[in-house]
């Protein structure tokens, strides 16, 4: 490595306190017998496990859910004294071997996965029951299969398809889950994600698995005002230029100046997760100044109007990132807004 890497022109500040407070709030929604876990898949929804896991551990979380085995090593570095689980289960003998070596519990999702797990040595695992989403998990009919009955099940779980809506599907999934769970002989049960937690105590069981709300998302209205923003992205100005009337800006010249202006080119693009949908009628901020985005978002850059702001070429500008609000404005889901945040941000806590 020739020399020390300079700080990036993109910063993602993670408010550790807000993250811990969000976990505590979600923990307080359910009874004290119900443990509150944390979904930390996709690098803690894009925030970074290096910051997220220690904050969650400090708050009291002990059960962490990943999607891929490839996510295990980074999480293991921080997860001492807690239980990691992998939602995709064991697809291959190599995955079963890795699960055993790392003491990470697979969530078994099918009769085939159950047989593979037992053949590779068995031991404790979780079980996912599909109660109506038709995505991942055994069916009600699979419950009596000898391969399922042979499992040593820690937690039997299911996942709600419509927890963020007042949908009859929630009640139907709850009933199906209760029925199936009776016959699998698990030591504990788990059903709710973030939104499911707000459906009431019937949905809490022994363990909940919130994700998005930990990270500042509010999938249901009842969470607004209770869940605090956690991720604060910022991007630096690389260049400032003057525009004359008639000058156009960016790809396809979609925006043209009508009067003399000043424009700043900012180190932030769709490769960083700032998708083109966010550019339309979007703004950045410099202190209290609002800086409208001009023209199209490029891969690595956007251009903003700084005519009325006292900025210079080293300054960082803040990117509005109130998830419910940004989601409503852009049409992107709160989950998408977070998980597409790119690898070029320096992720810091504070």
Catalytic residues: 41, 251
| Distance from C-alpha of 337 to C-alpha of 149, rounded to nearest angstrom | 41
Residues counted in the chain: 350
Closest listed residue to residue 37, CA positions, set 46, 45, 26, 47: 26
Of 113 and 265, nearer to ligand PLP (C-beta) is 113
Closer to ligand PLP by Cβ: residue 16 or 159: 159
Phi, psi of 235 (to 5 degrees): -135, 145
Rounded Cα distance, 85 and 45, in Å: 16
Q: Which residues, including other chains, have CB under 8 Å from residue 7's CB and lie 6 or more apart? A: 346
**Residue list 243-262, contact with ligand PLP (CB under 6 A):** none
The percent of the chain in helix, strand and coil, each rounded to the nearest 5, is 35, 25, 40
Shortest Cβ contact with ligand PLP: which residue? 211
Distances from the Cα of 199 to the Cαs of 33, 37, 94, 178, 296, in angstroms? Answer: 17, 17, 39, 16, 41
- x/- map, 142-161, ligand PLP, by CB under 6 A: -----------------x--
Report the residue number, 16 or 41, with the smaller CB distance to ligand PLP.
41
In whole angstroms, how close is the CB of 212 to ligand PLP at the nearest point?
Answer: 4
Q: Does 16 bind ligand PLP (CB under 6 A)?
A: no
Cβ 115 to ligand PLP shortest distance, Å: 22
Among the listed residues 10, 19, 20, 39, the single contact to ligand PLP using CB under 6 A: 39
Nearest 10 degrees: Cα torsion 9, 68, 42, 214: -140
Task: Give the tokens for residue 166.
Answer: 């007042």
Q: Which residues of 235-252 are buried (b: 16+ CB within 10 A; e: fewer)?
A: bbbeeeeebeeebebbee
Smaller CB separation from ligand PLP, 43 or 267? 43
Taking the least distance from each CB to ligand PLP, the nearer of 39 and 155 is: 39
User: Least separation, in Å, of the C-beta of 1 and ligand PLP?
Assistant: 36
CA dihedral 257, 258, 264, 267 (to 10 degrees): -40
Residues 182-221 binding ligand PLP (CB under 6 A) are 193-195, 209-212
Query: Shortest Cβ distance from residue 227 to ligand PLP (Å)?
Result: 11
| Least distance CB 266 / ligand PLP (angstroms) | 30
Tell me the per-residue interface mask from 56 to 95 with ligand PLP, x by CB under 6 A, - otherwise. -------------------------------x--------
Question: Hunting for tokens 């016959």 — which residue is that?
Answer: 183
Closer residue to ligand PLP in complex, CB, 22/194: 194
Smallest distance from the beta carbon of 301 to ligand PLP, in angstroms? 31
Q: Interface with ligand PLP by CB under 6 A: which residues?
A: 39, 41, 87, 159, 193-195, 209-212
């Amino acid at each position: 490595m020739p020399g020390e890497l300079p700080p990036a022109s993109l910063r993602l500040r993670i408010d550790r306190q807000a993250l811990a407070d969000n976990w505590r709030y979600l923990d307080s929604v359910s009874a004290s017998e119900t443990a509150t876990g944390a979904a930390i898949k996709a690098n803690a929804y894009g925030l970074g496990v290096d910051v997220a896991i220690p904050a969650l551990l400090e708050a009291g979380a002990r059960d962490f859910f990943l999607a891929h085995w490839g996510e295990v090593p980074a999480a293991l570095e921080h997860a001492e004294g807690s239980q990691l689980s992998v939602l995709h289960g064991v697809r291959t003998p190599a995955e079963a071997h890795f699960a055993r070596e790392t003491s990470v519990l697979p969530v078994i999702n099918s009769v085939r996965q159950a047989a593979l797990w037992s053949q590779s040595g068995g031991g404790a695992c979780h079980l996912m029951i599909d109660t109506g989403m038709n995505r991942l998990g055994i069916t009600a009919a699979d419950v009596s299969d000898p391969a399922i009955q042979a499992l040593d099940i820690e937690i039997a779980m299911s996942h709600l398809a419509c927890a963020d809506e007042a949908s009859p599907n929630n009640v139907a999934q709850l009933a199906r889950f209760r029925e199936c769970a009776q016959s699998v002989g698990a030591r504990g049960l788990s059903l709710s994600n973030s939104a499911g937690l707000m459906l009431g105590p019937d949905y809490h069981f022994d363990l909940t698995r919130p994700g998005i709300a930990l990270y500042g998302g509010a999938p249901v209205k009842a969470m607004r005002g209770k869940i605090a923003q956690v991720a604060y992205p910022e991007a630096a100005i690389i260049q400032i230029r003057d525009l004359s009337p008639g000058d156009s800006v960016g790809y396809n010249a979609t925006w043209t100046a009508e009067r003399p202006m000043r424009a700043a080119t900012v180190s932030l693009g769709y490769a960083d997760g700032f998708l083109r949908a966010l550019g339309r009628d979007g703004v950045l901020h410099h202190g209290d100044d609002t800086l409208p985005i001009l023209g199209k978002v490029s891969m690595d850059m956007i251009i903003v109007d700084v005519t009325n702001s006292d900025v210079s070429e080293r300054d960082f500008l803040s990117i509005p990132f109130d998830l419910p609000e940004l989601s409503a404005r852009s049409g992107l889901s709160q989950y998408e807004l977070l998980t597409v945040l790119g690898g070029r941000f320096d992720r810091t806590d504070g």
